[in-house]
Structure 1
């Protein structure tokens, strides 16, 4: 049966459907004005000087590293607790992802361990705002500047998240967002890069579109252009951008509903045995948009997670895990670089013991009680 309370569900209305139909009724499906309009809208939402739309968050990260000229012999510091795309974007350039363990309380990269991982081959640091909770960016910025390293923020789970009033993605040299269907907002598929450096933004625009020197609108003779650099086809289509334009308008409301649901679920889970809520409450100057709530099971019962998730499913309650393994433990990385479990205890603990619970705007606070009651009934039977 389908979940009564699905883990995620894109909220697509008539506004998005009408916008897509307008694109389909017109002559331009790519290279058009809607991608530019979406960039401007998302830049306005984040207060970013520049925004570059791309086909996915992964494409955006890869494009940045490619633009920096990363290759064999280079290294990038990457969190062990993240989606594999964060590391793949490095590997695709021929560079090496060097993993750092997570903080126990947030799942974010262990800032205290970053400098020990830096070598003469290190070119960049990547941080991930895990579950939408911002990394303590002033500390990481200080490290990156001290070692003259590029700082990339993987903001796939963090639209709306800020540190000291500054949107994530604008603390480092670039931030990349994901618009996968169950994220805070969607373009069906796609991503965007925000940054302050205008020259880098122009370079990214060039390389995301084959390295071609003139856009369609700039060509005096149709079809006549030059290719001045090696590039990719990482563009966002007009269809995806049209959805994004409407979704950005709704994003503040989506975030508010998420925050209300997160608070309600955290309260409802407070007395449930055998788990603690992740992320933990943050300092007052840091804001999380709460992508989802993580129920971290006690170590004594974490091996029962598959059975617990199955029982939640039987009650119509959707859930997920974030993420199934520390990235360095996954087969590709383990076989290529080896795996020392003593180096990533917190990432392993979170990956192996966390159940991600839904708080998206497709749900209401009263459904958070249903989720908590269902989990309470299951866990009470284990004690």
Structure 2
């Protein structure tokens, strides 16, 4: 565990926090309602790329410089802020005050458009950016150059190895549908990121999906973005607690560990590995279907009912387009002509199927 302190005056700015993997939805915008905190209490994550102001447009940066930074397809702009921004839950901050002249927002909160909007309460140095407007996951991003990491108990240590056996035991899967009938935002982000990797692994050939939730979430995207025809590549769900991957598997959909960010690797196949966020993978790998229960209250024997009713979506699934494009732009495979054509088509036509 560590705390973060002001680099100028050493005032403590957070409670004790433990490092975990940065969720793929960290830069997602969703709907027009208030979203919960991105990070669990007592955790932090690091954005390895430059993040926040200043931004430079793609035409000014150029393809060569962008590729050196790991971006291989045109984006609207690239950040030239310092890398290594730290994100924590708003409730884990300590000793900060708002900077009133930097508190603009889009709707009903702060969106950070003016840069750091939280200052150290002791020395008034800008130290963080709070984001809590509608459509955004609630976060506090600590400015890398303005804070320093202080070990809580002795020297800081690296991540422990991912405990795959404990994954299903200690973490719960995210249900795909919210009580209101909307698809869960975590699913839209996770599928958007995994879709980019799946397309790259497909090599442009039709893909066969297992029946069930994967067909409901990925199927329309494959129909829209890959050519029609007999499936040439087979996708299976693989990971801890599941049977070994068959030899005829072409693509294995595996979990990304929520603490370390490590991607599970099968030992008995040469299949291409595609990571999926663990909370979504758990629901895919170990679905917990709600079964009907015996009716009571004088009804005939053998009558069953669903109480409460199973959740059903009110519309077809659409992967998160921004997360898809962000992920695909950072895969070297996007430089292949067929995949670059997919990228350009999705970027130029934001409201076409499946997005």
Structure with more relative contact order (C-alpha pairs < 8 Å, separation 6 or more) = 1
TM-score range, shorter-chain basis? under 0.3
Q: Which has the higher helix share?
A: 1
TM (norm. structure 1) is 0.26
Larger C-alpha radius of gyration, 1 or 2?
A: 2
TM (norm. structure 2) is 0.28
